[in-house]
Amino acid sequence: MNRDLLKNIRCFILDMDGTIYLGSRVFDFTIPFLSALTASGREYLFLTNNSSLSAADYVKKLERLGIPAGKNGVITSGDATIEHLKNAGLTRVFLMGTESLMNDFKHNGFTLTDDKPAAVVLGFDTTITYEKIRTANDLLLSGTPFYATHPDLVCPYLPHPIPDTGAMIKMFEASSGVSPIVIGKPNAPMASAIMRRYGYSLDEIAMVGDRLYTDVKFGLNNGFASILVLSGETDSAMLGESGIAPDHVFSDIGEMGRILGIGP
Protein backbone atom coordinates (compact mmCIF):
# COMPACT_ATOMS: atom_id res chain seq x y z
CA MET A 1 0.00 0.00 0.00
CA ASN A 2 1.49 3.39 -0.90
CA ARG A 3 1.20 6.97 0.28
CA ASP A 4 -0.96 7.98 -2.68
CA LEU A 5 -3.79 5.84 -1.32
CA LEU A 6 -6.89 7.96 -0.72
CA LYS A 7 -4.90 11.08 -1.68
CA ASN A 8 -8.05 12.91 -2.82
CA ILE A 9 -9.81 12.54 0.54
CA ARG A 10 -10.44 15.92 2.18
CA CYS A 11 -12.49 14.66 5.13
CA PHE A 12 -12.16 11.48 7.15
CA ILE A 13 -15.42 10.63 8.88
CA LEU A 14 -14.42 8.87 12.08
CA ASP A 15 -16.57 6.56 14.13
CA MET A 16 -15.85 7.01 17.83
CA ASP A 17 -16.28 4.01 20.13
CA GLY A 18 -14.00 1.23 18.91
CA THR A 19 -12.17 3.57 16.51
CA ILE A 20 -10.71 6.46 18.56
CA TYR A 21 -11.52 5.12 22.03
CA LEU A 22 -13.07 2.14 23.76
CA GLY A 23 -15.44 3.03 26.59
CA SER A 24 -13.50 5.70 28.49
CA ARG A 25 -10.03 4.58 27.31
CA VAL A 26 -8.51 6.67 24.54
CA PHE A 27 -6.27 4.68 22.21
CA ASP A 28 -2.61 5.77 22.36
CA PHE A 29 -2.54 6.42 18.61
CA THR A 30 -5.63 8.68 18.52
CA ILE A 31 -4.23 12.10 19.44
CA PRO A 32 -1.06 11.77 17.29
CA PHE A 33 -3.18 10.67 14.32
CA LEU A 34 -5.63 13.57 14.63
CA SER A 35 -2.78 16.09 15.00
CA ALA A 36 -1.03 14.69 11.93
CA LEU A 37 -4.28 14.69 9.96
CA THR A 38 -4.84 18.36 10.71
CA ALA A 39 -1.21 19.21 9.90
CA SER A 40 -1.65 17.51 6.51
CA GLY A 41 -4.42 19.96 5.61
CA ARG A 42 -7.20 17.41 5.85
CA GLU A 43 -10.27 17.59 8.05
CA TYR A 44 -12.10 15.09 10.19
CA LEU A 45 -15.65 14.73 11.42
CA PHE A 46 -16.76 12.48 14.24
CA LEU A 47 -19.84 10.46 13.37
CA THR A 48 -21.70 8.18 15.73
CA ASN A 49 -24.85 6.12 15.64
CA ASN A 50 -25.10 6.37 19.42
CA SER A 51 -28.02 8.75 20.01
CA SER A 52 -27.91 8.66 23.81
CA LEU A 53 -25.97 11.95 23.81
CA SER A 54 -26.39 15.12 21.78
CA ALA A 55 -23.59 16.36 19.55
CA ALA A 56 -22.81 19.10 22.11
CA ASP A 57 -22.58 16.50 24.87
CA TYR A 58 -20.25 14.40 22.70
CA VAL A 59 -17.98 17.40 22.14
CA LYS A 60 -17.80 17.86 25.92
CA LYS A 61 -17.02 14.14 26.35
CA LEU A 62 -14.27 14.34 23.73
CA GLU A 63 -12.79 17.39 25.46
CA ARG A 64 -12.81 15.56 28.81
CA LEU A 65 -10.91 12.72 27.13
CA GLY A 66 -8.41 15.20 25.69
CA ILE A 67 -9.58 14.67 22.10
CA PRO A 68 -9.93 17.80 19.93
CA ALA A 69 -13.36 17.80 18.31
CA GLY A 70 -12.00 19.28 15.09
CA LYS A 71 -13.36 21.96 12.78
CA ASN A 72 -16.53 20.04 11.92
CA GLY A 73 -17.24 18.58 15.36
CA VAL A 74 -19.71 15.74 15.81
CA ILE A 75 -22.85 14.56 14.06
CA THR A 76 -25.02 11.85 15.60
CA SER A 77 -27.82 9.67 14.33
CA GLY A 78 -30.03 11.82 16.55
CA ASP A 79 -29.04 14.91 14.53
CA ALA A 80 -29.80 13.14 11.26
CA THR A 81 -33.15 11.93 12.62
CA ILE A 82 -34.12 15.44 13.70
CA GLU A 83 -33.25 16.79 10.24
CA HIS A 84 -35.11 14.00 8.45
CA LEU A 85 -38.29 14.38 10.52
CA LYS A 86 -38.30 18.19 10.25
CA ASN A 87 -37.98 17.95 6.48
CA ALA A 88 -40.98 15.58 6.50
CA GLY A 89 -42.99 17.94 8.72
CA LEU A 90 -43.19 15.38 11.54
CA THR A 91 -42.48 17.54 14.58
CA ARG A 92 -45.00 16.03 17.00
CA VAL A 93 -43.47 12.75 18.17
CA PHE A 94 -43.46 10.13 20.88
CA LEU A 95 -39.75 9.84 21.62
CA MET A 96 -38.00 7.05 23.47
CA GLY A 97 -34.66 8.57 24.36
CA THR A 98 -32.40 9.90 27.05
CA GLU A 99 -32.79 13.35 28.56
CA SER A 100 -29.97 14.58 26.31
CA LEU A 101 -31.76 13.42 23.15
CA MET A 102 -35.12 14.73 24.37
CA ASN A 103 -33.61 18.16 25.02
CA ASP A 104 -32.10 18.17 21.53
CA PHE A 105 -35.49 17.43 19.97
CA LYS A 106 -37.17 20.16 22.05
CA HIS A 107 -34.44 22.66 21.14
CA ASN A 108 -35.19 21.95 17.47
CA GLY A 109 -38.89 22.75 17.84
CA PHE A 110 -40.36 19.28 18.40
CA THR A 111 -43.34 18.57 20.62
CA LEU A 112 -42.80 15.38 22.62
CA THR A 113 -46.12 13.71 23.39
CA ASP A 114 -47.98 10.42 23.56
CA ASP A 115 -51.23 12.13 22.47
CA LYS A 116 -51.73 11.45 18.75
CA PRO A 117 -48.09 11.94 17.71
CA ALA A 118 -47.16 12.01 14.02
CA ALA A 119 -44.39 9.47 14.64
CA VAL A 120 -42.90 7.09 17.17
CA VAL A 121 -39.14 7.63 17.43
CA LEU A 122 -36.80 5.11 19.04
CA GLY A 123 -33.34 6.27 20.11
CA PHE A 124 -30.71 4.56 22.24
CA ASP A 125 -32.83 4.96 25.35
CA THR A 126 -30.77 3.92 28.36
CA THR A 127 -33.67 5.11 30.52
CA ILE A 128 -36.32 2.98 28.81
CA THR A 129 -39.18 1.71 30.99
CA TYR A 130 -41.95 -0.79 30.47
CA GLU A 131 -44.42 2.09 30.39
CA LYS A 132 -42.59 3.65 27.44
CA ILE A 133 -42.47 0.28 25.68
CA ARG A 134 -46.18 -0.32 26.16
CA THR A 135 -47.13 3.19 25.02
CA ALA A 136 -44.98 2.90 21.91
CA ASN A 137 -46.36 -0.53 21.11
CA ASP A 138 -49.96 0.74 21.38
CA LEU A 139 -49.14 3.64 19.04
CA LEU A 140 -47.50 1.35 16.51
CA LEU A 141 -50.48 -1.02 16.55
CA SER A 142 -52.69 2.03 15.98
CA GLY A 143 -50.80 2.86 12.78
CA THR A 144 -48.39 5.58 13.92
CA PRO A 145 -45.29 5.68 11.68
CA PHE A 146 -42.15 4.24 13.27
CA TYR A 147 -38.61 5.69 13.06
CA ALA A 148 -35.38 4.60 14.72
CA THR A 149 -32.17 6.58 15.02
CA HIS A 150 -29.85 3.67 14.17
CA PRO A 151 -29.68 -0.13 13.78
CA ASP A 152 -26.78 -1.11 16.09
CA LEU A 153 -27.61 -4.27 18.01
CA VAL A 154 -25.10 -3.65 20.80
CA CYS A 155 -23.05 -0.73 22.10
CA PRO A 156 -19.35 -1.33 22.85
CA TYR A 157 -18.78 -1.36 26.59
CA LEU A 158 -16.46 -2.94 29.13
CA PRO A 159 -16.41 -5.68 30.23
CA HIS A 160 -19.22 -6.67 27.81
CA PRO A 161 -21.29 -4.98 25.06
CA ILE A 162 -24.74 -3.75 26.10
CA PRO A 163 -28.07 -3.89 24.19
CA ASP A 164 -28.50 -0.99 21.77
CA THR A 165 -31.31 0.39 19.59
CA GLY A 166 -31.17 -2.46 17.07
CA ALA A 167 -32.00 -4.94 19.83
CA MET A 168 -34.93 -2.75 20.88
CA ILE A 169 -36.11 -2.59 17.26
CA LYS A 170 -36.33 -6.39 17.23
CA MET A 171 -38.46 -6.29 20.37
CA PHE A 172 -40.96 -3.89 18.80
CA GLU A 173 -41.00 -5.84 15.55
CA ALA A 174 -41.85 -8.97 17.52
CA SER A 175 -44.60 -7.31 19.55
CA SER A 176 -46.19 -5.04 16.91
CA GLY A 177 -45.14 -6.49 13.55
CA VAL A 178 -43.96 -3.01 12.53
CA SER A 179 -40.44 -2.25 11.27
CA PRO A 180 -39.06 1.29 11.50
CA ILE A 181 -37.47 3.59 8.98
CA VAL A 182 -33.89 3.60 10.26
CA ILE A 183 -31.94 6.86 9.84
CA GLY A 184 -28.36 6.23 10.98
CA LYS A 185 -25.42 4.38 9.41
CA PRO A 186 -25.45 2.63 6.97
CA ASN A 187 -28.56 4.31 5.60
CA ALA A 188 -28.97 7.15 3.11
CA PRO A 189 -30.59 9.74 5.43
CA MET A 190 -27.39 9.92 7.49
CA ALA A 191 -25.29 10.39 4.34
CA SER A 192 -27.69 13.07 3.09
CA ALA A 193 -27.39 14.97 6.36
CA ILE A 194 -23.59 15.01 6.07
CA MET A 195 -23.62 16.13 2.44
CA ARG A 196 -26.08 18.95 3.13
CA ARG A 197 -24.32 20.13 6.26
CA TYR A 198 -20.68 20.02 5.15
CA GLY A 199 -20.75 20.24 1.36
CA TYR A 200 -18.20 17.56 0.51
CA SER A 201 -18.41 15.58 -2.71
CA LEU A 202 -18.49 11.78 -2.52
CA ASP A 203 -14.93 11.32 -3.74
CA GLU A 204 -13.65 13.62 -0.97
CA ILE A 205 -15.03 11.49 1.89
CA ALA A 206 -13.79 8.34 3.58
CA MET A 207 -15.69 6.58 6.38
CA VAL A 208 -13.47 4.99 9.04
CA GLY A 209 -14.89 2.62 11.62
CA ASP A 210 -14.79 -0.75 13.35
CA ARG A 211 -18.19 -2.15 12.38
CA LEU A 212 -18.93 -3.95 9.14
CA TYR A 213 -22.71 -3.59 9.04
CA THR A 214 -22.79 0.11 9.93
CA ASP A 215 -19.46 1.85 9.25
CA VAL A 216 -18.20 -0.14 6.26
CA LYS A 217 -21.62 -0.53 4.67
CA PHE A 218 -22.22 3.20 5.17
CA GLY A 219 -19.42 3.90 2.72
CA LEU A 220 -20.30 1.05 0.38
CA ASN A 221 -24.02 1.92 0.31
CA ASN A 222 -23.55 5.65 -0.26
CA GLY A 223 -20.67 5.88 -2.70
CA PHE A 224 -17.67 6.98 -0.64
CA ALA A 225 -14.56 5.14 0.51
CA SER A 226 -14.94 2.63 3.34
CA ILE A 227 -12.09 1.91 5.74
CA LEU A 228 -12.31 -0.83 8.38
CA VAL A 229 -10.13 -0.70 11.49
CA LEU A 230 -9.72 -3.82 13.62
CA SER A 231 -9.48 -1.97 16.95
CA GLY A 232 -13.09 -2.49 18.00
CA GLU A 233 -15.91 -4.91 17.24
CA THR A 234 -14.60 -6.58 14.07
CA ASP A 235 -11.63 -8.92 13.95
CA SER A 236 -10.01 -10.64 10.96
CA ALA A 237 -12.11 -13.80 11.38
CA MET A 238 -15.37 -11.83 11.40
CA LEU A 239 -14.27 -9.92 8.32
CA GLY A 240 -13.47 -13.13 6.46
CA GLU A 241 -16.83 -14.67 7.29
CA SER A 242 -18.91 -11.55 6.61
CA GLY A 243 -18.94 -11.40 2.82
CA ILE A 244 -18.50 -7.60 3.17
CA ALA A 245 -15.50 -6.11 1.38
CA PRO A 246 -14.22 -2.77 2.74
CA ASP A 247 -12.17 -0.67 0.36
CA HIS A 248 -9.29 -0.73 2.84
CA VAL A 249 -8.49 -2.52 6.12
CA PHE A 250 -6.05 -1.43 8.84
CA SER A 251 -5.34 -2.67 12.34
CA ASP A 252 -6.17 0.82 13.69
CA ILE A 253 -6.10 4.48 12.68
CA GLY A 254 -2.47 4.70 13.82
CA GLU A 255 -1.43 2.16 11.20
CA MET A 256 -3.67 3.85 8.63
CA GLY A 257 -1.98 7.18 9.28
CA ARG A 258 1.51 5.75 8.96
CA ILE A 259 0.72 3.93 5.69
CA LEU A 260 -1.02 6.97 4.21
CA GLY A 261 1.81 9.26 5.26
CA ILE A 262 -0.44 11.31 7.56
CA GLY A 263 0.73 9.89 10.84
CA PRO A 264 3.79 9.97 13.10
Torsion sign across C-alpha atoms 110, 116, 118, 119: positive
Q: pLDDT at residue 121 above 70? A: yes
Average pLDDT over residues 90-119: 97
Residue 214, pLDDT > 60, answer yes
Q: Is the pLDDT of residue 84 over 50?
A: yes
Q: What is the mean pLDDT of the chain?
A: 93
Percent of the chain's residues with pLDDT above 70? 97
pLDDT tens figures, 153-183: 988 777 888 999 999 999 999 999 999 999 9
Lowest-confidence range among 3-7, 12-16, 214-218, 251-255?
3-7
Report, as an integer, the average pLDDT of 134-139: 98
Residue 59 scores a pLDDT above 60: yes
Q: Could you give the angle at the alpha carbon of 81 between the alpha carbons of 78 and 83, nearest 5°?
A: 110
Nearest to 233 by CA among 149, 162, 148: 162
Total Cβ atoms within 10 A of residue 70: 19
pLDDT, greater one: 250 or 260: 250
Residues 170-209 as b/e (b if ≥16 CB within 10 A, e otherwise) read: eebeeebebebebbbbbbebbbbbbeeebebeeebbbbbb
Who has greater pLDDT, 263 or 208? Answer: 208
* pLDDT digit string, tens, across residues 11-55: 999 999 899 998 788 999 999 999 999 998 999 999 999 999 999
- Quick one: what percent of the chain has pLDDT higher than 90? 81
2: pLDDT confidence band, cut at 50, 70 and 90? very low
- The reported pLDDT for the residue numbered 1 is 45
